[in-house]
Amino acid sequence: MEQQLDELVEFLSSPRSDVRQLAATYIVGFSHPTSEHHQLLQARAKKMVQPLLVICHELPVAANSALSTLVNMTSSLATCELFANEDYLRMVVRLITIPTSIIADTACMLLSNLTKKDSICRILAKLDVGDVPGICDSRFALDQLTDVFVKGMDKTYNKDARFNFLASVFADVTNHPFGRRYFLERTSYDDKMPITKIMVFSEYPDVIRRGGVDSTMKNICFEKESHREILDPKETNMLPYILLPLCGPEEFDMEDMEDMPEEIQLLGDDKKRESDPQLRATLLEAINLLCTTHYGRETLRAKKVYPVLREAHKVETDETCSDLNHRAVQLLMGDESTETMNDLEPPANDENVFEEI
């Protein structure tokens, strides 16, 4: 079998396009992680990546097979590392941003696998991919990917793509300080912060999109020196989009509600909380991160975040979420001291943290 696979891999680089494309349609079946031949292909990955990327730009059927093979093979971080050069990443990004690409969503899946590698994230953050008509006036990959992600909501850019898996890419990139800086800095082409473009999808129906957005918002909250900007309604204004998925149909006291962000006031009887406990946990982690600065805690107190947490706690069934909720309440309800006002974590206070204030 190994000899047959070697021959098949060689056919991927054939000068004849029909042979290349036929080989691509055959090899995809061997590439699935559950296939008994998956590891044999992984051992040949170095010879396969470049020809498969070339085939991705050829006839649609073969292109889809080639791209699916790459998605399957990049379940291995070792194979992902083979993409750590500008030329390969530029080819992947173009598969996403070409407006007529029928494999754009699959290419997003590939990129979301690749960005699990730090080296890929670093290259992507600075990658110049050239101008693409129909999207933002920028040559940089992250600018273009953010733009098509927003336009994918209603398929206004590519009728065959929603780009939901790009949310996972953004989450991976913001695991790094340079990625968080990108999303918090205003772009040169429209003077807007990229995080403000994607955070509005925190309640989007697709779990991949909203999950990646939730993780991106949480990662942004690691930037303690940016908490003022993150919480400023005239700047990033991220707090409402963290709180919205945690809100249900309950009514709040008028006095509390008047101080809450406008976006979470008067939500209605049909308002539903985030159903995925992992995503609720991610949002609660974001709140805990905002509580690590004195300014963050004071702002969350002023914006009446405690009543939101209190009501969420009453119906929470997940232990991890309950613990994260409880921890956030401890931080918000704890007494401040000279030390905590200098952004040292305030002492926990376990007594009656969910009692009415």
**pLDDT: which is higher, 96 or 341:** 96
Tell me the pLDDT tens digit for each residue of 258-292: 999 999 998 889 999 999 999 999 999 999 999 99
pLDDT-derived band of residue 192, with 50, 70 and 90 as boundaries? very high
Quote the pTM value.
Answer: 0.93
Q: How far apart are CA 275 and CA 114, in angstroms?
A: 28
DSSP bridge partners of 140: 128
pLDDT for the residue 266: 84
pLDDT of 352 strictly over 80: no
- Model pLDDT, residue 251: 87
pLDDT for res 334: 80
Q: Which of 71, 226, 96, 202 is nearest to 152 (CA)?
A: 96
Identity of the amino acid at 111: L
Q: What percent of the chain lies above the pLDDT cut of 90?
A: 84
Return the pLDDT at 196. Answer: 98
Tens-place pLDDT, residues 71-93 = 999 999 999 999 999 999 999 99
- The Cα–Cα gap between 232 and 243 comes to 15
Residues recorded for the chain: 357
pLDDT tens string 39-53: 999 999 999 999 999
pLDDT beyond 90 at 356: no
Q: Going by C-beta distance under 8 Å and a sequence separation of 6 or more, which residues neighbour residue 172?
A: 112, 115, 116, 121, 179
Q: Would the pLDDT of 351 be above 90? A: no
Question: Is the pLDDT higher at 300 or at 354?
Answer: 300
Distance CA 93, CA 111 (A): 8
User: What confidence tens digit (pLDDT) does each residue in 156-172 have?
Assistant: 899 999 999 999 999 99
Look at residue 116 in the predicted model and tell me its pLDDT. 97
> pLDDT at position 349, please?
43
Q: What pLDDT, on a 0 to 100 scale, did the predictor assign at position 344?
A: 52
Query: Residue 263 in 3-state DSSP?
Result: helix
The C-alpha atoms of residue 250 and residue 72 are separated, in whole angstroms, by: 44
Confidence of residue 345 (pLDDT cuts 50, 70, 90): low
- Residue 322: is its pLDDT beyond 90? yes
Q: For the chain, give the mean pLDDT.
A: 92
Q: Is residue 227 very low, low, confident or very high in pLDDT (cuts 50, 70, 90)? A: very high
CA distance 220 to 296: 13
Q: What is the spatial distance between Cα 123 and Cα 127, in angstroms, rounded to a whole number? A: 6
Q: What is the pLDDT of residue 343?
A: 65
Residue 316 tokens, joined: 């929470």
Q: Do residues 151 and 161 make contact, with C-beta atoms less than 8 angstroms apart?
A: no
Residue 346: per-residue pLDDT: 44
Mean local confidence (pLDDT), 190-210: 97
pLDDT score, position 335: 74
Distance CA 303, CA 240 (A): 10
For residues 357 and 347, give the distance between their C-alpha atoms in angstroms, rounded to a whole number: 19
| 166 contact partners, CB below 8 Å, separation of at least 6 | 96, 108, 111, 112, 145, 146, 148, 149, 152, 212
User: Which has the higher per-residue pLDDT, 342 or 238?
Assistant: 238
Residue 106 has what pLDDT? 98
pLDDT of residue 328: 96
